[in-house]
Amino acid sequence: MRKSALITGASRGIGRAIAAALAREGWPVCVNYLERRDAAESLVLELQRKGCAALAVQTDVSDRAAVEAMVRTAEETLGPVELLVNNAGISRQGLFQDLDDALWDRLLAVNLTGPRNTVQAVLPHMLSEKRGNIVNISSIWGLRGGSCEVAYACTKAGIVGLTRSLALELAPSGIRVNCVAPGCVETDMVRGLGRETRAMLVEETPLGRLGRPEDIAEVVVFLASEKAGFITGQVITSDGGFVV
């Protein structure tokens, strides 16, 4: 039976690189996006021109009903989702005492409730087939904390807990759950921090550079492969040595 991969937040940055890398490995990919329809559709067109099966679906991952509809569309068009990559996420910088309810709730809704929604939507097929693979994208800030990014760090720490707990619960059903914690990667999110902050992050990274989205994508490709068939419940940092 044909199987497919669903990558959330895949129109740009790390998600885009993951979708492209998985497509090269033969996975039909569902490219989820929220706002950048142009970027998502350009990626799908690029992949299709290379002979890869791809589909773009606009969905707010915090909306459970919309996520369930997206999974149905992906399965009807590409095949059952046997690989889920929870990449969609948002970040905001600011002092904790200035963090209002609306922003706190939105960060939790996208970064933590979103993965809850997607996992629950794809699980019925995985459980029935007793196979499947879930890769969650966290962050080094979820491991070590981040000043002026308290809410974001909290959600990414939650992803680590989600990964480890789900791995234990789903292992008897043959479903693997792992996590990648990227360091400072050259994306719109990091570029938004400004030149001085980016230069400081490069200096603090032992390998002396920011990561590339492709660096993270290759870790996901490995975790999605049979080469990682005995790996579950793990958090793999790809950060140039930033956290040791």
Sheet of 29-33, strand order: 54-58, 29-33, 4-7, 81-86, 132-137, 175-182, 235-238
pLDDT, residue 171, reads 98
What confidence tens digit (pLDDT) does each residue in 1-51 have?
Answer: 569 999 999 999 999 999 999 999 999 999 999 999 999 999 999 999 999
33 is catalytic: no
Whole-number average pLDDT of the chain: 95
Domain 4-185+214-234, classified CATH 1.10.40.60, yes or no: no
Integer-rounded Cα Rg, in Å, for the chain is: 17
**Closest to 104 in 3D by CA, of 158, 55, 64, 166:** 158
Question: How much is the pLDDT for 193?
Answer: 74
Tell me what the mean pLDDT of segment 124-138 comes to: 98
Per-residue model confidence (pLDDT) at position 1: 52
The one catalytic residue in 27, 33, 152, 242 is: 152
How far is the C-alpha of 222 from the C-alpha of 131, rounded, in Å?
A: 17
pTM above 0.75, yes or no: yes
Separation of alpha carbons 226 and 26, rounded Å: 14
Residue 99 has pLDDT above 80, yes or no: yes
H/E segment holding residue 195: helix 195-204
pLDDT tens digits, 218-243: 999 999 999 999 999 999 999 999 99
> In 118-136, which positions are buried (b, 16+ CB within 10 angstroms) versus exposed (e)?
bbebbbebbeeeeebbbbb
- 108, amino acid identity: L
Residue 45: which residues within 8 A CB-CB, separation 6 or more? none
* Domain spans of the chain, in order of start: 4-185+214-234
Between CA 215 and CA 19 the distance in angstroms is 13
Distance CA 224, CA 84 (A): 9
Query: What's the DSSP call for residue 172?
Result: G
Closest CA to 236 of 180, 185, 183, 157: 180
Rounded to an integer, what distance in angstroms lies between the CA atom of residue 138 and that of residue 8? Answer: 13
176 DSSP β-pair partners: 133
Cβ neighbors of 72 (< 8 A, separation 6 or more) are: none
Judge whether residue 196 has pLDDT over 90.
Answer: no
Model confidence pLDDT, tens digit, residues 176-193: 999 999 999 988 777 777
pLDDT in tens, 60-97: 999 999 999 999 999 999 999 999 999 999 998 899 99
Beta bridge partners of 182: 238
d(CA 166, CA 229): 16
Contact call for residues 107 and 156 (beta carbons, < 8 A): no
pLDDT computed for residue 198 by the predictor: 84
Among 28-42, 106-120, 149-163, 189-203, the minimum mean pLDDT is found in: 189-203
Residue bearing tokens 């990682």: 228
Six-digit token pair at 122? Answer: 């794809």
